[in-house]
């Protein structure tokens, strides 16, 4: 039960923070969802660091991983919103913007996870 509460608490905090960031930043560009993009990239970096710390001599506990990686990052990042926004760009015939948004999200997301893991190896 404690583990479920940790995931619940982390997910709630992550979701609130994602909402606030996306609400404030998505309005800046009509053909690029900056808020969603940034929360997904930041979330990738955070989860890379968390998993790196977890793998490095068990620096963080299983409960901390559940709270922060599963809960917070799970609530903070959002694949469903990313897919919806990509679909909106497609329907608006903004194929270049859609391709950039999707390509940059995936490529930079993977690089951010790699950066997080690298940071932990350097510690």
- 59, 61, 66, 71 alpha-carbon torsion, rounded to 10°: -50
Reported pTM:
0.89
- CA 88 – CA 101 distance, rounded (Å): 12
pLDDT tens digit at each of 123 positions of the chain? 999 999 999 999 999 999 999 999 999 888 899 999 999 999 999 999 999 998 887 889 999 999 999 999 999 998 999 999 999 999 999 999 999 999 999 999 999 999 999 999 998
Annotated binding site: 74, 77
Q: Report domain extents, the chain.
A: 1-122
Binding residues for Na(+): 74, 77
Helices marked H in 1-123 — which ranges? 2-25, 34-55, 62-65, 74-76, 79-91, 95-122
């Amino acid at each position: 039960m404690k583990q479920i509460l940790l995931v619940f608490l982390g997910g709630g905090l992550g979701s609130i923070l994602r909402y606030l960031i996306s609400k404030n930043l998505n309005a800046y560009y009509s053909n690029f969802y900056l808020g969603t993009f940034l929360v997904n990239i930041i979330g990738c970096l955070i989860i890379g660091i968390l998993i790196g710390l977890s793998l490095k001599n068990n620096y963080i506990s299983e409960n901390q991983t559940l709270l922060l990686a599963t809960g917070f990052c799970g609530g903070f990042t959002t694949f469903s919103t990313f897919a919806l926004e990509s679909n909106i760009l497609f329907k608006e015939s903004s194929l270049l913007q859609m391709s950039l948004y999707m390509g940059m999200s995936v490529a930079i997301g993977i690089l951010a996870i790699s950066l997080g893991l690298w940071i932990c190896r350097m510690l």
